[in-house]
Amino acid sequence: MSQMNSEQEVAAVRAFNRFYTRKLGIIEPKLLHSPFTLQEARIMYEIRHRPACTATDLTRDLGLDPGFLSRTLQGLQRRQIVTRKPSKDDGRVNELSLTAKGRSAQAELERRAREEVGSLLAVLDDNQRNAVVSAMTTIEQTLERPTAKPAAFILRSHRPGDIGWVISSQAKAYAEEYGWDISYEALVAEICAQFIKTYDASREHCWIAEAGGQPVGSIFLVKGSDDVAKLRLLLVEKKARGLGVGRALVEQCVRAAREKGYKKMTLWTQSILVAARGIYQAAGFCRVKEEPHHSFGVDLVGETWELKL
């Protein structure tokens, strides 16, 4: 390929932008045939996925004009999508949150977005999908200033080979960090084997967190009953900790459980897993039971946590 000059490079980028926005339907007046504009949908997404959010945060992080943001938030308030309340830490600051109507609308937008992107990727084979996702990651990492974002990761569905990685990574991590014996590997292998044998795509899922083309984390949504979902086997490798991978995995799992119609989500963890427990608590889980036990060659305190969906 011959070397482009600067004008050709600019033209190529603009052409790609036109192509991509057309593919995703972003140029339509309303996003994904919804009642919301692209800007409104992005603001709703940010409010939904931040533990605390203010107008100042959105202005700074999204590069929005304060006046435009204020008008947009007022419109969303009038439509009972967004509400404001004084911050617990500083009563002079109002925190933004979605109403029940807003959460429902935002979940529907995410469902439509996943279907839209899913339909684009469905016609591609595995190599083509990997190439597309890798190219997008390259664009993001190249254009984003290194200081603005510590590292990029994606969440994807499991594929052949991933379950073996989950078993191996779980066994290694807990042996090295907590001294658990090989009986834990056996337990993880049993859980994973059962997941594969009885996998119900309409009620269950496994997500793999990937950075730089390599898996760095995982989580499972498993059917407990028609109304109860189980969160299982959360793991984030050491090299990816501190990037928000664990929080993203848990939020994705909870969001999917709601969309699949579950009423409650449960999980079983151990008191020594402080970081994971913090993520569960931030996601709204409450500890409902604890019980000492001797497992995996060590003394532990098992904990059951629940979340009403």
Return averaged pLDDT per consecutive 10 residues of the chain, 309 residues in all. Answer: 71 78 64 78 85 82 84 92 80 83 88 82 84 81 60 85 95 92 96 94 93 91 96 93 89 93 96 91 93 94 94
Torsion-angle region of 302 (φ positive above 0: left; ψ -120 to 50: alpha; else: beta): beta
Count of domains observed in the chain: 2
Q: Which residues constitute the domain of residue 243?
A: 151-308
Give 271's DSSP letter: T
Q: Which domain-ending residue is among 105, 129, 159?
A: 105
Specify the pTM: 0.54
In a domain, 61, yes or no: yes
Question: What are the distances in angstroms from CA 165 to CA 190, 210, 215, 258, 271?
Answer: 14, 12, 8, 27, 25
Q: Which domain-ending residue is among 79, 105, 131?
A: 105
What integer pLDDT is reported at residue 80 of this predicted model?
94
Count CA atoms within 13 Å of residue 279 on its CB side.
25
Alpha-carbon gap, residue 32 to 111, rounded angstroms: 10
In a domain, 249, yes or no: yes
Residue 294 amino acid letter: H
CATH label of the domain that carries residue 62: 1.10.10.10
What integer pLDDT is reported at residue 204 of this predicted model?
95
Q: What angle do CA 193, 111, 55 make, to 5 degrees?
A: 120
What integer pLDDT is reported at residue 148 of this predicted model?
44
156 with 283, same domain: the answer is: yes
159 with 39, same domain: the answer is: no
In a domain, 121, yes or no: no
